[in-house]
C-alpha cells in the first residue's frame, strides 16, 4: 500500500483542510496531555513552510444530540478553544479559533485566511451529521478548502464527514503522522520479519476476538495475559476464583486453543488478591485460584516464560497490559514485558495504542519501542485485518 502523502500535493497558496486528532484530556479549561497536538506538528509545520493556508478540523469528546440539556453541557465541556491556545504556543504562526462549525463567521475567517496562517474550527462533533458522514455536511466543509490531508490516525477507522466525506470530494493525501502509522503497522502485520510474536492483554476476550483470529493466522506465537487470560484458563478446566471471566466466551477460547496448534502461550501463575479496591492479602498462585481471590497480574514464572518465548523475535506487536498496571502492586508483569520487548536486538516492536501505549509511556519506555500507535481503536482494527475507511479513501500513488 503506497498512498499519496502531503508531499505529493502542491500546497503553496492553497487552502488545505487537515483532519487532526486534538481529542486531548481537558480539565477545568487546562490541557492535561498535549501529545496529540505535538504529534500533528510535523504536518502542520510542513504546510506552513510551503505557504499553505491551513484549516484544522478535529473532534473532542462526545456530544449527545438526542438530549438538548446534555447537548449544551457536552458542547461547553468539549469546546476546542483551549486547544487553539496551546497550538498557538507550539507553532510560529497566527492561529485563529473559529467557535462555530458552519456559517458566515467561519466562511469569513476562511476568506481572510492568509498563507502561513492557521484556522482551528470548533469541534466537528457539534454537528449531528459528522458521525453519520452526512453528504451535505461533507460537501459544505469541502467547499471551504482546495485540498484535504488526513492526519488523525485515532479516527481513520470511522467513516465520518471529517475523515471520509471530505476526502471523497477534494484531492486528498495522508499526513506524516498517519503515514508513519501505516508504514509501521503495515510492516508488522502485513509483511513481518519473522518470528512474529503477538502479545495480547487487557480485560476482555470479546474486545479482541477478531484480533486473535487474524493473529493466529499470521503470527508465529500469540502470548495472552491480562484479565482475558482467565477465560482461557477456564477453557482448560482451571478454576479462577473471582477473577474476571467471560463465561459466554469460554467455548470460543476452547476453539482458539484447538485451532492454535500450540501457538497460544498462556500465563502459568498469577498475582492474586482478596480485593480489587483494598487488598489485604496479595500472593502468587499457580494452578487454581481459590474463591474470594482474583488474579490482577501475571506472576514471576509467567514473566520468565514470556521472556523465553520472546527470545529471537524479529517483530513484536503488543496490545493490552498484563495486569492492572495503574496500581503499583499489579504493574510488575507489564513492566517486565515492556523491558523484555525493549531489550530485543534488531526487532521491530509496535505497540497498538490504548492502554498498552499509556503503560509504555507512563512506565518510562516511550523511546524503547520502534513505534507506539496514537490510535487504540484504529490500530486494533488494523491488527484485525480490517480496512480503515479514512485510509482506504486516499488514492494510491
* pLDDT digit string, tens, across residues 334-391: 999 999 999 999 999 999 867 788 778 877 888 889 998 888 788 889 999 899 999 9
> Of 174, 209, 236, which one is at a domain's C-terminal end?
174
Query: Residue 290 is placed in which grid cell?
Result: 481459590
Tell me, yes or no, whether 393 lies in a domain. no
Collapse the DSSP code of 9 into the 3-class scheme (helix H, G, I; strand E, B; otherwise coil) and give the result: coil
Active-site hit among 61, 129, 186, 377: 377
Strands 282-286 and 269-273: antiparallel
What is the CATH number for 163?
3.40.50.1260
Tell me, yes or no, whether 390 lies in a domain. no
235 shares a domain with 204: yes
What is the structure's pLDDT at 1?
A: 60
What is the structure's pLDDT at 374?
A: 85
Per-residue pLDDT of the chain (397 residues; tens, 9 = 90+): 689 999 999 999 999 999 999 999 998 888 988 989 999 999 999 999 999 999 999 999 999 999 999 999 999 999 999 999 999 999 999 999 999 999 999 999 999 999 999 999 999 999 999 999 999 999 999 999 999 999 999 999 999 999 999 999 999 999 999 999 999 999 999 999 999 999 999 888 888 998 999 999 999 999 999 999 999 999 999 999 999 999 999 999 999 999 999 999 999 999 999 999 999 999 999 999 999 999 999 999 999 999 999 999 999 999 999 999 989 999 999 999 999 999 999 999 999 867 788 778 877 888 889 998 888 788 889 999 899 999 999 999 9
- Per the structure, the count of domains in the chain is 2
Tell me, yes or no, whether 24 lies in a domain. yes
Collapse the DSSP code of 273 into the 3-class scheme (helix H, G, I; strand E, B; otherwise coil) and give the result: strand
- List the one residue out of 381, 373, 354 whose CA is nearest residue 152: 373
252 shares a domain with 214: yes
Is 375 tagged catalytic?
A: no
Quick: pLDDT tens for 100-153.
999 999 999 999 999 999 999 999 999 999 999 999 999 999 999 999 999 999
Is 314 tagged catalytic?
A: no
CA dist 179 to 39, 186, 360, Å?
12, 10, 22
Q: What is the dihedral of CA 233, 237, 238, 244, to 10 degrees?
A: 50
71 shares a domain with 156: yes
129 shares a domain with 11: yes
What is the structure's pLDDT at 28?
A: 84
148 shares a domain with 215: no
Active-site hit among 116, 204, 361, 368: 204
Tell me, yes or no, whether 389 lies in a domain. no
Tell me, yes or no, whether 229 lies in a domain. yes
> Of 174, 203, 232, which one is at a domain's C-terminal end?
174
What is the structure's pLDDT at 122?
A: 98
Burial of 106 (0-12, 13-18, 19+ CB in 10 A): buried
164 shares a domain with 215: no
Tell me, yes or no, whether 392 lies in a domain. no
Is 354 tagged catalytic?
A: yes
214 shares a domain with 89: no
160 shares a domain with 191: no
> Of 174, 209, 224, which one is at a domain's C-terminal end?
174
Collapse the DSSP code of 282 into the 3-class scheme (helix H, G, I; strand E, B; otherwise coil) and give the result: strand
Is 36 tagged catalytic?
A: yes
Alpha carbon distance 195, 313 (integer Å): 5
Collapse the DSSP code of 390 into the 3-class scheme (helix H, G, I; strand E, B; otherwise coil) and give the result: helix
Structural domain of 274 = 182-383
290 shares a domain with 223: yes
Q: Where are the beta strands (DSSP E) in the chain?
A: 15-19, 26-27, 30-31, 53-57, 94-98, 117-121, 147-150, 172-174, 196-200, 221-224, 264-265, 269-273, 282-286, 294-298, 315-319, 348-351, 371-372
Active-site hit among 201, 353, 354, 390: 354
84 shares a domain with 190: no
CB 310 within 8 A of CB 371: no
320 shares a domain with 200: yes
Active-site hit among 14, 19, 36, 263: 36
What is the distance in angstroms between the CA of the first residue and the CA of the last residue of the chain? 9
Which residue matches cell numbers 497490559? 321
Tell me, yes or no, whether 257 lies in a domain. yes
149 shares a domain with 191: no
Tell me, yes or no, whether 274 lies in a domain. yes
Amino acid at each position: 500500500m503506497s498512498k499519496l502523502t502531503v508531499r505529493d500535493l502542491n500546497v503553496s497558496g492553497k487552502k488545505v483542510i487537515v483532519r487532526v486528532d486534538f481529542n486531548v484530556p481537558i480539565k477545568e479549561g487546562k490541557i492535561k496531555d498535549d501529545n496529540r497536538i505535538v504529534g500533528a506538528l510535523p504536518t502542520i509545520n510542513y504546510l506552513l513552510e510551503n505557504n499553505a493556508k491551513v484549516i484544522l478540523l478535529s473532534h473532542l469528546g462526545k456530544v449527545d444530540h438526542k438530549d438538548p440539556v446534555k447537548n449544551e453541557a457536552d458542547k461547553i465541556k468539549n469546546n476546542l478553544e483551549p486547544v487553539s491556545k496551546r497550538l498557538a504556543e507550539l507553532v510560529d504562526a497566527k492561529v485563529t479559533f473559529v467557535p462555530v462549525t458552519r456559517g458566515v463567521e467561519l466562511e469569513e475567517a476562511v476568506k481572510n485566511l492568509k498563507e502561513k496562517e492557521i484556522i482551528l474550527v470548533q469541534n466537528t462533533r457539534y454537528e449531528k451529521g459528522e458521525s453519520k458522514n452526512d453528504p451535505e455536511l461533507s460537501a459544505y466543509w469541502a467547499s471551504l478548502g482546495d485540498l484535504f490531508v488526513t492526519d488523525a490516525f485515532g479516527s481513520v477507522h470511522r467513516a465520518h464527514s471529517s475523515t471520509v466525506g471530505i476526502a471523497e470530494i477534494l484531492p486528498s493525501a495522508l499526513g506524516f503522522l498517519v503515514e508513519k502509522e501505516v508504514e509501521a503497522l503495515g510492516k508488522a502485520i502485513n509483511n513481518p520479519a519473522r518470528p512474529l510474536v503477538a502479545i495480547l492483554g487487557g480485560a476482555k476476550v470479546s474486545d479482541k476476538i477478531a484480533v486473535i483470529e487474524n493473529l493466529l493466522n499470521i503470527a508465529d506465537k500469540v502470548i495472552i495475559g491480562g484479565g482475558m487470560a482467565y477465560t482461557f484458563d477456564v477453557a482448560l478446566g482451571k478454576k479462577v476464583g473471582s477473577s474476571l471471566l467471560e463465561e459466554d466466551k469460554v467455548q470460543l477460547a476452547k476453539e482458539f486453543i484447538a485451532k492454535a496448534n500450540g501457538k497460544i502461550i498462556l500465563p502459568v501463575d498469577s498475582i492474586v488478591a482478596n480485593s480489587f479496591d483494598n487488598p489485604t492479602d496479595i500472593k502468587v498462585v499457580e494452578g487454581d485460584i481459590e474463591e474470594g481471590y482474583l488474579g490482577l497480574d501475571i506472576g514471576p514464572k509467567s514473566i520468565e516464560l514470556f521472556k523465553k518465548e520472546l527470545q529471537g523475535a524479529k517483530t513484536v506487536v503488543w496490545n493490552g497490559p498484563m495486569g492492572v498496571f495503574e496500581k503499583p502492586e499489579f504493574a510488575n508483569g507489564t513492566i517486565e514485558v515492556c523491558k523484555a520487548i525493549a531489550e530485543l536486538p534488531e526487532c521491530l516492536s509496535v505497540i497498538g495504542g490504548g492502554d498498552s501505549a499509556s503503560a509504555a509511556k507512563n512506565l518510562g519506555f516511550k523511546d524503547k519501542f520502534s513505534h507506539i500507535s496514537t490510535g487504540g481503536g484504529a490500530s486494533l482494527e488494523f491488527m484485525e485485518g480490517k480496512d480503515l475507511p479514512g485510509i482506504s479513501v486516499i488514492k494510491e500513488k
